[in-house]
Amino acid sequence: MEFITADEKKTLEQKLTDLKANRPVLTNRIAEARALGDLKENADYHAARDDQGLNEAEIRRLEERLKSAKVADEKQVPKDVAFLGSVVRLRDVEDGSEDSYKLVGEATGRFDSDDVEVTVQSPMGEAMMKSRVGDVIKVDLPRGIKRFEVVEIR
């Protein structure tokens, strides 16, 4: 079972609605490309069919995810524990550098925030979950194990 925030659930539901609304557009693209004739060498037709397949696959993925996901009740989580939706400031034990990370169920792919999004399934997210200020967490990264001290939880 996967935990997501209420905001993430709304975002996923909106994305699913948008993808379903795109179905008629893709069907029309296929019909228009089919009307051009020879389907073997019709790049527009093949591109439209590929787009339709990707759209349907994403719809199935989101529906399955929403069906199995549980919305985390932030009121039941102590404020001094890192959990889904928390912003955690970490200090690298080796070099003393600090960065802020936000624990999310699914990364948005946006890079305009001051906080680095970390999914709870990632090695960093797993290490941060349920940590407290003052804890030193170990993260198993491709280049070896790194240690971080939890400085702040918001």
86 and 62 in a common domain? no
Each residue of 10-60: pLDDT tens digit? 999 999 999 999 999 999 999 998 998 888 888 899 999 999 999 999 999
Range of the domain at 56: 2-71
Predicted confidence at residue 122, as pLDDT, reads 92
Q: What is the CATH number of the domain that holds 24?
A: 1.10.287.180
Q: Give how far the C-alpha of residue 65 lies from the chain's centroid of Cα atoms, to the nearest Å.
A: 11
56 and 7 in a common domain? yes
pTM over 0.75: no
Domain boundary among the residues 24, 45, 71 is at: 71
84 and 54 in a common domain? no
Domain boundary among the residues 27, 43, 71 is at: 71
Predicted confidence at residue 55, as pLDDT, reads 98
Residue with tokens 């699914």, as numbered in its chain? 106
Domain boundary among the residues 21, 41, 71 is at: 71
Separation CA 100–CA 92 (nearest Å): 11
Predicted confidence at residue 77, as pLDDT, reads 65
Strands (E) across the chain are located at: 2-4, 69-71, 87-92, 98-104, 116-119, 136-141, 144-153
Residue with tokens 């296929």, as numbered in its chain? 30
Predicted confidence at residue 15, as pLDDT, reads 96
